[in-house]
Amino acid sequence: MAVTTLEDLLGAGVKGRHVLVRSDLNVPLDGQTITDDGRVRAALPTIRRLAEAGAKVLVTAHLGRPKGEPEPKYSLAPVAARLGELLGSPVELAGDVVGEHAKALAGSLAAGQVALLENVRFDPRETSKDAAERAELAGELAALAGEGAAFVSDGFGVVHRKQASVYEVARELPAYAGGLVLAELEVLGRLTGEPARPYAVVLGGSKVSDKLAVIEALLPKVDKLLVGGGMCFTFLAAKGYGVGGSLLEAEMVDTCERLIADAGDKLVLPVDVIAADAFAADANTRTVPVDAIEEGWMGLDIGPDSVRAFAGALSEAATVFWNGPMGVFEMALFAEGTRGVAEAIADSPAFSVVGGGDSAAAVRVLGLPEDGFSHISTGGGASLEYLEGKELPGVSVLQQGSE
């Protein structure tokens, strides 16, 4: 991939220069408490290297989906505190995105210091459909950094978005790919190039419609496609099974029938599920075959026989990509399917990639060793779009800049 990189920037020297870094710090919060700091830790190496080289590091990022105006629950204040803890030095948070406080903070940075701008999505121009509005915000972000500044794109979780702090700002400043973005692209390149075989993909999550494009892109390329999570019930309905009150996309049943026919023996579906009489942590549960889910009951996890079947398929794989939990892992009653499949992947000698989002959170929430996986991605949506063969605007703009 022809892009200028963090190494190129460091080689040119950054001491005393402002460097604007777009990180992905979109962490889950419980009130003001970060429940999974994986993305903060993933952003750390690039920020630390720049600071240690004497740059004045100005970080921009988003959190959640505010409606283009400040919302206290989406403030990056908890992230600034955690980033400072991990760096071992305070990280001041600007009270605005590109306003007077941001300007003053950027101007006061000393060499080696790190500051964080407030949630960039508090400014409606960040996600505007109007390119001129996005370009205006990008120009103001670049002006904060000032003359002689550089931009480092290190938020892989947002490179599939054409947004001001991802795309347009890379046209305003000399732009470089950060270490995290490069690592993600290298790993995904292995999956889309000539992966070691057998190549198994495990997909979970709620909806077939969310994963349809990646299923269609991957089916011709994989040796096994294992489907769990809420999306499996639409496949089971396509096989003629009653799914009770389980999550069902009725409009996708015909599509699943086609996918089942196209996939043949590549497709592995659950053979049993953990059914519950309510979507609740204290629900009554029973383990039933997939053709015996009663009306009024809903499947909320794959069952133990399914875990064994999935583990058997995974034990033979040389490459594994996993995206999406097998059940409602946040509730202990429905976590064992995800745990069992994750442990099977971790125990396998395969080159294994966890595809970001809920899967990465599940690894940490369930206390599984992160080093059991070859790579844990920070970009769920970006990873899937890459595997679908889509262009990622935040990557293509870096390639354009290097031409």
Q: Is 15 marked within a binding site?
A: no
Q: Residue 185 annotated as binding?
A: no
113 contacts 55 by C-beta, under 8 angstroms: no
Q: Is 62 a known ligand-binding residue?
A: yes
Kindly state the tokens that stand for 336. Answer: 């064992």
Contacts with 88 (C-beta within 8 Å, 6 or more apart), sequence order: none
65 is in an annotated binding site: yes
The annotation status of 82 as a binding-site residue, yes or no, is no
Max Cα distance, the chain (Å): 67
Q: Catalytic amino acids?
A: 39, 207, 357, 381
Q: How far is it, in rounded angstroms, from Cα 29 to Cα 22?
A: 20
190 is in an annotated binding site: no
Residues linked to residue 151 through DSSP beta bridges, in sequence order: 20, 175
Task: Mark residue 244 as left, alpha or beta (left: phi above 0; alpha: psi -120 to 50; beta: remaining).
Answer: left
Residue 16 marked ligand-binding = no
Cα–Cα distance between 199 and 225 in angstroms, integer? Answer: 9
Mention every residue, 6+ apart, whose C-beta is less than 8 A from residue 385: 160, 392
Question: Does residue 25 have a known ligand-binding role?
Answer: yes
Residue 258, CA distances (Å) to 65, 212, 262 in order: 35, 12, 6
Q: Is 229 annotated as a binding residue?
A: no
Establish whether 54 is an annotated binding residue: no
Please tell me the distance from the alpha carbon of residue 106 to that of residue 115, in angstroms, as a whole number: 8
Report whether 224 belongs to an annotated binding site.
no
Pairwise CA distance, residues 64 & 74, whole Å = 6
> How many angstroms separate the CA atoms of 381 and 390, rounded?
11
- The CA-CA-CA angle for residues 24, 159, 224, to 5°, reads 100
Asked whether residue 330 is marked as a ligand-binding residue, the answer is: yes
Contacts of 290 (CB under 8 A, 6+ apart): 236, 241, 269, 270, 271, 272, 273, 299
Is 286 annotated in a binding site? The answer is no
254 is in an annotated binding site: no
63 assigned to a ligand binding site: yes
Please give the annotated binding residues for ATP, written as ranges.
211, 299, 330, 356-359
Please give the annotated binding residues, written as ranges.
24-26, 39, 62-65, 121, 161, 211, 299, 330, 356-359
Please give the annotated binding residues for (2R)-3-phosphoglycerate, written as ranges.
39, 121, 161
Please give the annotated binding residues for substrate, written as ranges.
24-26, 39, 62-65, 121, 161
